[in-house]
Amino acid sequence: MIAYVTVGADDIARAKRFYSALLPALGYKLEEGPAGLSYTLAAKPGQPAVLPDFYVKPAFDGHPASAGNGSMVAFEARNQKQVRNLHAAALAAGGSDEGQPGFRASYGPGFYVGYLRDPQGNKIALFSSNPNEPGRDG
């Protein structure tokens, strides 16, 4: 199980604008601190933490943050409409498009996905594979 994911950011304010446009709609709560942004999922009282956490922080070594070539973080949305809405919100919040929401021929018929880059260049996917929605062949 993945416990947390961290992406680097040199401009925390820009990163906050981008990630706060999409992560709260997926159930993440933001906590800000001197080391950056922490997005966590709510746990019920007395229950273990819901994972994974998502952190946005300056690079630990003090050098400029950079996006990993071939690295991507994917967030699951409730449905195709939420993928479209969050993709648009993230673009309006300073992200850049890496692939408009839709079906991809190389993925399963029910996998609906949109791709973005955050302001630092980290690649983000928003997807839905809700079996109650039509697939690309239906």
pLDDT interval class at 133 (50, 70, 90): very high
- The pTM is what? 0.92
Summarised one tens digit per residue, pLDDT across range 55-94 is 999 999 999 999 988 999 999 999 999 999 999 999 999 9
Average pLDDT of the residues in 122-133:
96
pLDDT above 70: percentage of residues in the chain? 99
**67 CB neighbour count, 10 Å cutoff:** 15
Distance CA 27, CA 77 (A): 10
Distance CA 138, CA 131 (A): 12
* Domain 4-59+71-128 in CATH 3.10.180.10: yes
